[in-house]
Structure 1
Amino acid sequence: MELEAQVTGHHTYGRSREKFIAKTFNHLGGAIVAFTALEMLFFATGLSESIANAIFQLPWLAIIGAFMLISWLASRTAHTVESKALQYAALATFILAEAIIFVPLLYIADSYAPGVITNAAVITLVATVALIAIAYTSRKDFSFLGTVLKWGGLLALILVVSGLVFGFQLGMFFSVAMVAFAGGAILYDASNIIHHYDEERYVGAALELFASVALMFWYVLRILTASRD
């Protein structure tokens, strides 16, 4: 009887974890759809040009700082508050912030390299699905990537800020390295979703994974746009 109870408990835990994983990936899909809808709205209404011009006139360092603050607040809210409404509000705020900060890059890509946005989106989605599939089918715990990503992210931030302050371009190699970094982040996030996240934190888990997917999309788009010059 005790063995039967343990087996039943294991199966129950497995089913609950699978439900959590499905919810998280469904929320990731919803976040991607919402982001896409916002960008389509910005471009269809002409808001994209106004947003792009406004951002071009502001110091990029200040924009990055504001975006990082919003990202931190949204992530913290989604991972700590008990209210589901506030968790969803945090996710929605983060999606909106991502949509706004992407406008200048999308505007340039649409103007000078037609077609690359779709290509970048397809490449990013295929890579994301492949990395999630690796994490899900192998069931390997990739949490060891956390330290690498932490220090790699810090180095990338230092390079970006230094480039803005001292006026040098980071170039194609940096963009390629950041695509690899984003791929590692997607694998790390997917692994945490499968193995470690609290099963009630599917909104926060989806936010983290969406942030990594958006990062990959940003640098894939930069590479494709630059290659058209």
Structure 2
Amino acid sequence: MDNKTNKFISVNYQLYTLEADGSKQLVEETKEGNPFQIISGFGMSIDKFEEAIVGLEAGSDFELTLQPADAFGEYEEEGKHKVSRDIFSINGHFDHENIFEGAVITLMDSEGKRFMARVIKVEEDGVTVDTNHPLAGSTLLFKGSVLENREATNEEIQHMINHMSGEGCGCGCDDCDGDCGGHHHHDGDCGHHHHDDGCGCVHCHH
């Protein structure tokens, strides 16, 4: 396939992390009847993942190993930030239901960009969050098969543009309740908190 942009690609896959001892751990897989879908050229997935599948025909199997630099980057200590408890308060009351150690939340920087963060510690003088992607520092192994690879329709392209402009989840999957796999922000200005599920797909966006 010579033209590798605006391709509607649907795949099933299993994603593993490769451990130092040579073992692998399954961290996610597509669900029956709910494949991972992207339109190429929109930056909806990890670059190396898209490069590996965009030229494959329907019915092709693939196996792809990505080092951290080609996936979600190395883990960075500066990705940790301590922010005011006030941004997690509703009507003057701290949101204990959603803000607790280990919770994955949606934040917004000063430019209005949304990104995911994990709550590390909740204290009286602030909340420490980690904006590193949960798979930062991990070597990834994708094993899967291509279900569909064709030219995207104008309607599908417009739908994706609408999503990426903020009118929905731009990750290309139907079940958006994870974190933002393909979009890692280091802005550090965690000035806003959204009390919703966010534009998730930590596990959908590759």
Larger Rg: 1
Give the strand-richer structure, 1 or 2. Answer: 2
TM-score (norm 1): 0.23
